[in-house]
Amino acid sequence: MSEELRYTLFGESHGEAIGVVLEHLPAGLVLDWDFIRQEMDRRRARAGGLTTSRIEADQVRVLSGVFEGRTTGTPLAAVIENGNTRSGDYAAARYLARPSHGDYTGFVKYHGFADYRGGGHFSGRLTAPLVFAGALAKLVLREKGILVGGHILQVGPVRDEPFDPVEIPPALLEALRLKDFCTISDEAGQRMQQVIREAGQQLDSVGGMVECAVTGLPAGIGREDADSMEGQIARQLFAVPAVKGVEFGLGFGFAGALGHEANDEFYAENGRIKTRTNHSGGINGGITNGMPVVFRAAMRPTPSIARPQHTVDLRTMENAVLEIRGRHDPCILPRAVPVIESAAALAVLAAMGKLEREETNP
């Protein structure tokens, strides 16, 4: 019944098209297509061995909800046609569940009727419309002075410098957004790329972590219950394939900490309340406190690896060996940052409730 932002992704990796419907966007938002295309590009596969070789144009066609270049406030549907599909790669292994993929669980849940090709609806390809949706959410937030930005904090054994959670300047977030390989330390980025290429050469894959921040959020967003700011962000992040852990502020570091180390003391400055440290990641009691919201998402190594793996034939229930064909990312981190940011932007925008533009047309 609510009018908070809601989105629905649709489509399958090798189906006709993928897309998204966004409900309850504020009316009057100008679609900044330069920004949207940049965001889509940040997620795209590239040449160079860091990503899959399935490169898609990912042209977004908006079917509804936009008039004279602005959102109408009614549902916005956007579609991306599927182009570069090689479904034949998958036919032979139709009933061989890929380990740690959603093949088996999707088979059970959907009684064997799911589209198996390339993971079908479970494919990471669905993150393309997610990034489009996230770009729109970011545009709405940007008008309110709220930025969402992240970087690759870890790939395998290599770590980037973390954010300073007390002060995350807009210029840093924008610089990261425009980087081809999105780390704060270029040197760490170089080493990460090496780790990824090596994993690919070994027919293996490698995991990692994204750190993300939301800055400019006012205090008072979220709730003290199951709709906590942490819970709403985590729920959206866990919808991103490969995310298996989410932490805010010190996160798992709190487990080893003492209270006097972990507390964020308050001070007043120019009539605003701030904290000297930001171990809490900008959230207390499930509600934002005006400091940057900072969180990290752990992402598993791509489960599609070309090495032979043991599995089961879902039709015969016999043990089998699978050699995965198809084209896959040896590491999803290079493409994951805008995806994580998008999930967070959508969660934050939904948590803010109905946002009305002050402007009216005419």
Near its own copies in 149-208, by CB under 8 A: 154-157, 199, 204-208
- Is 148 a residue that touches its own copies (CB under 8 A)? no
Nearer to its own copies, 57 or 63 (CB): 63
Interacting positions 88-147 with its own copies (CB under 8 A): 95, 97, 99-106, 108-115, 120-122
Are the CB atoms for 101 and 122 separated by under 8 Å?
yes
Interacting positions 327-356 with its own copies (CB under 8 A): 350-351, 353-354, 356
Identify the H or E element spanning 156: none
CA distance 167 to 172: 10
Can you give the length of the chain in residues?
A: 362
The residue within the footprint of its own copies, chosen from 134, 149, 165, 241 (CB under 8 A), is 241
At residue 279, φ and ψ (nearest 5 deg) are: -65, -25
Interacting positions 38-97 with its own copies (CB under 8 A): 61-65, 67, 70-77, 79, 95, 97
CA distance 71 to 86: 36
Pairing of strands 66-67, 272-275: unpaired
Interacting positions 293-312 with its own copies (CB under 8 A): 296, 298-305, 307, 309-312
Structure tokens at 64: 């509804």
CB of 46 to its own copies, least distance (A): 20
* Maximum C-alpha span of the chain: 70
CB of 336 to its own copies, least distance (A): 12
CB of 178 to its own copies, least distance (A): 25
Collect all residues with Cβ–Cβ distance below 8 Å to 299 and sequence separation of at least 6: 207, 208, 209, 210, 242, 243, 244, 332, 333, 336
Structure tokens at 275: 């904290």
- Is 12 a residue that touches its own copies (CB under 8 A)? yes
Count of residues of this chain found to bind its own copies when the rule CB under 8 A is applied: 153
Nearer to its own copies, 170 or 353 (CB): 353
- Mark the segment that binds its own copies (CB under 8 A) among 38-46, 167-175, 176-184, 215-223: 215-223
